A and B are shown apart, each in its own frame.
Chain A
Amino acid sequence: MSHATEGAPALSKVHRVLSVNGENHEVAFDPRKTLLEVLREDMLLTGTKHGCELGECGACTVLIDGEPKLSCLVLGLESDGVDIRTIEGLAQPDVPHALQTAYGELGASQCGYCSPGFLMNASALLARDTNPSREAIVEELGGNICRCTGYLKILEAVELAAQRLRDGTAANGGSDV
């Protein structure tokens, strides 16, 4: 790459190779698009949701180099050369992530619209710390809004998943993340 990445003016698409869920994809997209739009519209990875597109809800959270970030405030143009993980890549091919199983069991998804954002955020937390305190989970998930659950089942699901990861009873801790 030259010292400056040039974005073409509107409408003519740019081509980039994006690493999403461990696979390289060559994607052509409108250079004005955020990663959220590129994922959903140009890669049909609609698991990543949106509730505001202004950084105010957390629904669009994905992992970028392992850190939860808001895909609505990252440009597609800024997304090459990094490792992007979305909800579609959280499970192993054969088993769901411990968080996903716990989510299902505790009914932590009601409408489920906020779930991908919460799960990506929580997966980064558990990748760092498999024994987070309730306060740490509250703090970490404070960047996601859920209108259905009142959060309690979500917090419990994170704790249940953490417990299983510690006990080694979880099928998938998402260790490749």
Chain B
Amino acid sequence: MMRLPTFRYTAPKTAAEVAEILAGEGPQASIVAGGTDLYPNMKRRHQTPKTLVSLRHVEELRGVQLNGAVSIGSNETLSDLEDNAALKAKLPALWTAVQSISTPQLRNMGTIGGNVCLDTRCNYYNQTWEWRRAIDFCMKCDGETCWVAPSSDICWAVNSSDTVPVMIALGATFTLISTRGERTIPALEMFGEDGIDYLTKQPDEVLTRIDIPDQGSAKSVYRKVRRRGSFDFPVAAVAARVEMDGDEVKAASIILNAVGPKPVVCETAVDAILGKKLTDEVIEEAAKLAGKGAKPLDNTDHISMWRKKVVVVETKRALEALAQ
């Protein structure tokens, strides 16, 4: 039986109290929401926080507000979002992403905030302590070398969140609080360049809210590549959003995920469709350009060369869906 290391457990009732405890305990403390990412990591000894600060009693972090814009409390469970018919109608791409996460049981437990803050993944890292000892550990945890790219000085562990690329594509913002105050940042700014410091969120900050602006007439889709119809994290994913002006693209966003430590913003691909009709040729060209931004390495399921190829196919399919 895999078991947890020792920790102290607290379950405050307000976000402010959470922030206070975090400020007092320093980086040795960790927030736990659904625990579906953190507890497996603790069992494998990736993280051994001294104090767990549970959000389980923090009611203010729950709930979804749907006006024109959508505001989602960070502690909302994935299955509550999945069951939210209004959300599904309004943000189908986000709903698709949520619904594709892991399994029904895990979605009953996992939260959207946890999904945003999900630890980066690598199959040299998501292993037990005993396994990692055999490779003398790696840079991300307890070791020196990156076994995926030994000459690299950054970690290539993969951002594997399903909802993050959609949130970036939709122009979401994240609101963080700490004893130092509150700040709201564009979703993209949350993510760092390297798999170790994958979040710009400070250890004492609590993610409280995710806000998604009114999408107007814009349409978006999410496409996820994985081996099986459940359980599996994405090995490549595309979120795309287009806003049309007549039959020409007025604004667009194409975001890849699960192909590197940070979600990839496909600027050249977007440039290739802006102001154009979404014809087969335009889509094909944009998909190729998007594929150039993906640099998958051999640290997830599936062959990395294949993942690079399917990024192009999936981007194409995403744009085709939006062209209809």
Contact = CB atoms under 8 A, between A and B. Distances in A.
Contacts of B36: 55, 70, 73
B105 A61 contact: yes
Interface stretch (A3-11, A83-91, A103-111): A3-11
B323 interface: no
Nearest to A66: B108
Contacts of B47: none
A143 B17 CA distance: 35
B231 A56 contact: yes
Interface string A28-40: 0001111001000
Contact of A67 (B7, B10, B79, B103): B79
B105 A58 contact: yes
B10 A142 contact: no
Nearest to A68: B105
Given A5-B11, A69-B108, A54 B5 contact: no
A31 B104 contact: no
- Size category, B interface: 35 or more
A70 B79 CA distance: 14
Contacts of B6: 9-10, 32
Nearest to B13: A3
B231 A68 contact: no
A70 B229 contact: no
A26 interface: no
Contact of B109 (A3, A37, A74): A74
Contact of B3 (A5, A32, A67, A77): A32
B63 interface: no
A42 interface: no
Interface in A142-173: 142-144
A68 B7 CA distance: 26
Interface of A: 3-7, 9-10, 31-34, 37, 50, 52-56, 58, 61, 67-70, 72-75, 77-78, 121, 139-140, 142-144
The 9 A-B residue pairs whose C-beta atoms are closest, nearest first, are: A143-B103, A7-B9, A142-B230, A53-B2, A4-B10, A10-B6, A54-B40, A67-B108, A143-B105
Interface of B: 1-13, 17, 21, 34-36, 39-40, 43-44, 54, 56, 79, 102-106, 108-109, 229-231
11 contacts: A32-B5, A34-B4, A54-B40, A55-B36, A55-B40, A56-B231, A61-B105, A69-B105, A73-B35, A75-B9, A143-B105
